[in-house]
Structure 1
Amino acid sequence: MLPYWRLSGFYFCYFALLGGVAPFLSLYFHHLGFSAARIGELVAIPMLMRCFAPVLWGWLGDRSGQRLLIVRLGALLTALTFTGILWRQDYLWLALIMALHSFFWHAVLPQFETITFGHLGEQSARYSRIRLWGSVGFIVTVVVLGLLLDRFSPAIYPQAMLSIMLAIFCCSLLVPPAPVAATRSALPGDGFLRQLWRPGVLVFFFSAGLMQLSHGPYYTFLTLHLEALGYDRVLIGAMWALGVVAEIILFMVMSVILARFSLKQLLIGSFILAALRWLLLGFWADSLVLLALAQVMHAATFGCFHVVAVHFVQRSFAERYQGQGQALYATLSGCGGALGALYSGYSWNALGAGWTFALASVAATLAALLLLRWMPGRAS
């Protein structure tokens, strides 16, 4: 029997932690009195760790087969190393804490994705129904933690994050190992590199990096962009929430969409909508209607793309290489995200919001063209 609620509970807590990091980590560092440059460096460290940590843990998971043990140890060590933030708050110490805890945190999700698909077996189309609880967890944290920080002080932020990290570990203890019968083996001589060179696989991974690169201005400057256009923070928060709600609705119907369209069609469609979305945000976000439309497109640029991506990886690699496949997806996404944040930081003042988002649109368009040309017909 599928352990639906145990898998969903883990996703809820994992992305609840992300809901605490993405909007509020910079706020906590600002509360400690760091300059904007120092804050940017501290926030960038976990993103940079994602560029190589998942590959190491993915290789270890495939070699040992102990994916659930890696998830549990990763979750526990994430919490234990993060406790160091309670002892000291000087810059070098915080940089070390950011590096250590994110090294273990990035071990968790790619391995857990593999475990989830192992439980799903032939029911892989149900993945989105499990994953949607991660989006719910994200929204709950953004709302609840926002209220707590407003009522009390950003000083409580580390304790709140530590509580969520411990919840992730507890949830990992409840998840059973994936059934052996649900896995599939590689053919003799059919190693990871050979599977990586199959038609369309490399271009997919490159496109995944471009997708995250195109999100750089969105995650780095959207709030500042909307404030400059005259929107108040309540409405800005509502726009962020609208994107996640659209993503949840998409997850609820994703199994029907997967049955009707090929992975290649869905990937290209996600990139086309991403290219349009960034243009809307860059040049026409002063229209509330167009801004809302752009945020609804988050269902495609994040929700649809991510579901299709993990399905593509799951279908492209044999079971013994699933961890490395999911880890490579996470790694290249992290590299793309880091490059996106970097370029947008340089271009925001030099070129302005419109052209910064336009460059993101170009990246998404390029990925769509590459997939159209180099990915085989129905793509896995």
Structure 2
Amino acid sequence: MPYWRLSGFYFFYFASLGALLPYWSLYLESLGYDATAIGNMMAVIMATKIVSPNIWGWIADHTGKRMAIVRLGSLCAVLAFMGVFYPGGYVWLLLVMLVFSFFWNAALPQFEATTFHHLGDRVHRYSSIRLWGSIGFIATVWGLGGILGGREIAVLPWILVVLFGAIWITSLLVPEEVAGHLPRDHEPLRNILIRPRVAGLLLVCFLMQASHGPYYTFYSIYLKDTGYTLGVIGGLWALGVMAEVGMFLFMHRLVPRFGLRRLLLASLALAVLRWLLIGLYPAQVGVMLFAQILHAATFGIYHAAAIQLIHSYFKGRHQGKGQALYSSLSFGAGGALGSFYSGYVFAYLGPSAMFLVASGLSLVALLVAWRSIPARVSA
């Protein structure tokens, strides 16, 4: 198994996310855009995940060339992103982010399927590879907190170009999976999707990611308006992902002991609490620190459990489609809805109301998971 080559891709992919998620909204704000415009532009990045992963997933499943898709998507993404340097205004920037994210969102679902192919029957070891993505996220979110705190935030697009280029380079190092090793399963995809546990899981993923909309879109602005410095903001983001890394290190032990269903339910319940704390007590540093530690559950446990459930539900030639559906319905549709509603709630009701809505969505996700995910789930 090419452990370090797989880990290297995750490192740079999520390092770029560590620059994009916490700081891109601040960069847009520095250009003079208001909360509604920022929410719309962040929603475009998420919305392409509804379409892009499914198109590329269909191509990958029918050609067996997953890494070719990853390499093409990564290269086109960095080329498209360079359009941000042209001063074309709001519509132009919206178009650039649309094209960029269409290709950028092609890569990760197919790389996830490639990783599971290399893992074989050791799927519980997924978290030990994926944790390098979290380390990459920490490196950039913390490092940039210091860099951007002392300089103009205008350097952010150049940093992102370097990171996107590194994603493409590392993708060249990962070998293409052998198509003949992939078990063939001719069961119609529709038969899988109509199963209550599958439909329920996808709905849970949609709601959970929608609840993250205020966090990923306005958390940094929310903290800045409360009085936190960029260095502290970067530190809080990094703390959350450090907690996530710690959880990934132990996840392979938790799954056999507690099972995927219990872990998923626990992560959803803690999401309800986390968003309430952030929304109600932003000025309480101790509360905010605790809320960030809960990221270990609301992303670390949740993602590791959800992606293993997806892998167990979508077999054979449907693996690429399963990962694409997970990405498009959760990070795509859910993320787009989250960015969209958070912009309007922020503008008209205030930031605290944003996180109260997020907490409510997490509660609905918890109830859906309780009813639809069976007690005995194959890990």
Q: TM-score, structure 2 length as denominator?
A: 0.92
In the alignment, does 2:204 pair up with 1:207? Answer: yes
Q: Which moved more, 1:286-295 or 1:330-339?
A: 286-295
Corresponding residue for residue 15 of structure 1 = 14
Corresponding residue for residue 280 of structure 1 = 277
Report how far residue 180 of structure 1 moved.
4.9
Report how far residue 283 of structure 1 moved.
2.0
Query: SS in structure 1 opposite 2:176?
Result: coil
Query: SS in structure 2 opposite 1:106?
Result: helix
Query: SS in structure 2 opposite 1:29?
Result: helix
Report how far residue 53 of structure 1 moved.
1.1
Query: SS in structure 1 opposite 2:120?
Result: helix
Query: SS in structure 2 opposite 1:185?
Result: coil
Q: Deviations over 1:221-251 (max 9, x none)?
A: 3334444544444433322221111001001
Corresponding residue for residue 308 of structure 1 = 305
Listed as ranges, the matches of 1:41-120 within 5 Å are 41-120=40-119
CA contact (8 A) 1:203 1:374 kept: yes
Q: Deviations over 1:45-75 (max 9, x none)?
A: 2122122111111111112211111011111
CA contact (8 A) 1:128 1:255 kept: yes
Corresponding residue for residue 346 of structure 1 = 344
In the alignment, does 2:377 pair up with 1:379? Answer: yes
Q: Deviations over 1:248-267 (max 9, x none)?
A: 10011110011112211111
Distance 2:228 2:151 in 1: 25
CA contact (8 A) 1:121 1:182 kept: no
Listed as ranges, the matches of 1:119-198 within 5 Å are 119-180=118-179, 183-186=182-185, 188=186, 190-198=187-195
Counterparts in 2 of 1:157 and 1:244: CA distance versus 1, 3 Å: same
Counterparts in 2 of 1:68 and 1:5: CA distance versus 1, 3 Å: same
What letter matches 2:130 in structure 1?
A: R
Report how far residue 103 of structure 1 moved.
0.5
What letter matches 1:60 in structure 2?
A: I
Query: SS in structure 2 opposite 1:107?
Result: helix
In the alignment, does 2:337 pair up with 1:336? Answer: no
Counterparts in 2 of 1:348 and 1:39: CA distance versus 1, 3 Å: closer
Report how far residue 353 of structure 1 moved.
4.0
Report how far residue 27 of structure 1 moved.
3.3
What letter matches 2:375 in structure 1?
A: G
Q: Which moved more, 1:48-57 or 1:28-37?
A: 28-37
Report how far residue 181 of structure 1 moved.
6.8
**Alignment length (residue pairs):** 377
| Segments of 4+ moved more than 6 angstroms | none
Q: Which moved more, 1:294-303 or 1:41-50?
A: 41-50
CA contact (8 A) 1:119 1:182 kept: no
Corresponding residue for residue 248 of structure 2 = 251
Distance 2:193 2:43 in 1: 29
Report how far residue 16 of structure 1 moved.
1.0
Q: Structure 1 residue aligned with 2:367, among 366, 369, 375?
A: 369
What letter matches 1:321 in structure 2?
A: H
Corresponding residue for residue 270 of structure 1 = 267
Report how far residue 32 of structure 1 moved.
4.0
In the alignment, does 2:316 pair up with 1:324? Answer: no
Distance 1:261 1:181 in 2: 34
CA contact (8 A) 2:211 2:338 kept: yes
Q: Which moved more, 1:46-55 or 1:277-286?
A: 277-286
Q: Deviations over 1:129-161 (max 9, x none)?
A: 111111111121223334444455333333221
CA contact (8 A) 2:23 2:220 kept: no
For structure 2, which runs of at least 5 residues remain unmatched after alignment?
Answer: none
Distance 2:233 2:166 in 1: 29
Q: Which moved more, 1:44-53 or 1:5-14?
A: 44-53
For structure 1, which runs of at least 5 residues remain unmatched after alignment?
Answer: none
Q: Percent identity at matched positions?
A: 46
Distance 1:18 1:12 in 2: 10
Counterparts in 2 of 1:80 and 1:342: CA distance versus 1, 3 Å: closer
Report how far residue 372 of structure 1 moved.
1.2
Distance 2:323 2:121 in 1: 18
Corresponding residue for residue 240 of structure 1 = 237
What letter matches 2:337 in structure 1?
A: L
In the alignment, does 2:218 pair up with 1:221? Answer: yes
Distance 2:38 2:282 in 1: 27
CA contact (8 A) 1:81 1:100 kept: yes
Distance 1:350 1:26 in 2: 18
